[in-house]
């Protein structure tokens, strides 16, 4: 009976299901009972070996999937004697084939290719000695952790109390973009453009937001303006993205 109970506790310990107080108690028992500690250690080692085999299995599967993806791409012929003929045929056919069959990247794929969250640089400067400062610090901390829903809740509340904290609107907009709150994100990117220090960043993310939600003409307008601007920090990327959009 006692053995059964020990087994139950070991089983729950290994699967991480022991309650906090039981866990503490069990850890203390392990310190004083070397035989039990050895038993648990062996079981953990066996589990870790099994997990390692599982990881190997997944890696093998992924290698196979990778190979299948490569195989599904059209092969490249190396027959030199056909190259000249092929070149001529290609010249004639490519525009037509391209027109009918080319698969341009979707706006979502382009969004993913160009998007990454703006690095947060405010937290070190925020004053955490008052409740507003704490709210801002918590919001930016959530942003840094990628907890975008939490970040949205906190920064929204901060902006309600500090409506002219335009730079905070940029981070809020990005968090909202992450959780697909399209309209709020766009509203905040517009708001953030009131801060000259963050205007360019807000423009760039506004364009990406349009791209993410498939509003290509709006995205194109902003990208056009960024790419023709003299000193925009995303000038080159905007030009590349415009080319990819064609």
Interacting residues with another protein (CB under 8 A): 7, 10-11, 14-16, 38-39, 41-43, 45-59, 61-63, 65-66, 69, 105, 108-109, 112-114, 116, 146-149, 178-179, 240
Residue 185 Cβ vs another protein, minimum distance, rounded to whole Å: 13
What are the residues whose beta carbons fall under 8 Å from the beta carbon of 239, sequence distance 6 or more?
Answer: 227
| Residue labelled with tokens 């059209």 | 74
Name the nearest CA neighbour of 107 among 217, 8, 6, 191: 217
Please state the closest distance from residue 39 (CB atom) to another protein, in A: 7
Q: Nearest approach, Cβ of 70 to another protein (angstroms)?
A: 9
Phi, psi of 102 (to 5 degrees): -65, 140
Which lies closer to another protein via its Cβ, residue 31 or residue 51?
51
Nearer to another protein, 52 or 86 (CB): 52
Nearest Cα to 187, choosing from 202, 165, 204?
A: 202
Nearer to another protein, 16 or 75 (CB): 16
Contact present, 206 and 222 (Cβ < 8 Å): yes
Q: How many helical (H) and strand (E) elements, i.e. helices and strands, does the chain have?
A: 12, 0
Considering the complex, what minimum distance in angstroms separates the CB of residue 143 from another protein? 12
Tell me if 152 sits within 8 A of 171, measured CB to CB.
no
Rounded to the nearest angstrom, the gap between the alpha carbon of residue 24 and the centroid of all alpha carbons in its chain is 36
Return the number of the residue (14 or 190) whose C-beta is nearest another protein: 14
For the CB of residue 5, give the shortest distance to another protein in the complex, in Å.
13
- Name which of 203 and 237 has its Cβ closer to another protein: 237
Closest CA to 146 of 122, 186, 175: 175
Q: CB of residue 42 vs another protein: minimum separation in angstroms?
A: 5
Nearer Cβ to another protein, position 95 or 105?
105
Structure tokens at 228: 């023709």
**What is the dihedral sign for C-alpha 75, 79, 83, 89?**
negative
Query: From the CB of 113, what's the least distance to another protein, in Å?
Result: 5
Comparing CB distances to another protein, the nearer of 112 and 242 is 112
Q: Measuring CA to CA, which residue among 208, 240, 236 is closest to residue 222?
A: 208
């Amino acid at each position: 009976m006692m053995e059964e109970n020990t087994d139950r506790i070991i089983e729950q310990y290994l699967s991480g299901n022991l309650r906090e107080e039981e866990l503490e108690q069990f850890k203390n028992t392990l310190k004083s009972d070397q035989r039990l500690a050895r038993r648990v250690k062996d079981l953990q080692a066996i589990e870790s070996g099994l997990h390692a085999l599982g990881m190997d299995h997944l890696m093998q599967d992924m290698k196979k999937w990778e190979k299948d993806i490569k195989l599904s791409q059209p092969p490249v012929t190396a027959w030199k004697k056909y190259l000249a003929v092929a070149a001529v045929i290609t010249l004639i056919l490519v525009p037509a084939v391209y027109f009918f069959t080319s698969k341009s990247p979707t706006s979502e794929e382009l969004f993913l290719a160009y998007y990454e969250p703006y690095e947060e640089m405010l937290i070190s400067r925020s004053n955490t000695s008052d409740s507003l400062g704490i709210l801002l610090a918590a919001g930016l901390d959530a942003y840094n952790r990628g907890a975008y829903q939490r970040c949205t809740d906190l920064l929204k509340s901060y902006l309600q109390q500090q409506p002219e904290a335009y730079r905070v609107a940029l981070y809020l907009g990005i968090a909202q973009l992450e959780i697909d709150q399209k309209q709020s994100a766009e509203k905040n990117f517009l708001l953030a453009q009131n801060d000259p220090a963050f205007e360019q960043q807000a423009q760039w993310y506004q364009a990406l937001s349009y791209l993410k939600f498939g509003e290509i003409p709006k995205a194109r307008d902003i990208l056009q303006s960024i790419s023709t601007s003299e000193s925009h920090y995303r000038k080159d990327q905007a030009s590349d993205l415009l080319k990819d959009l064609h």
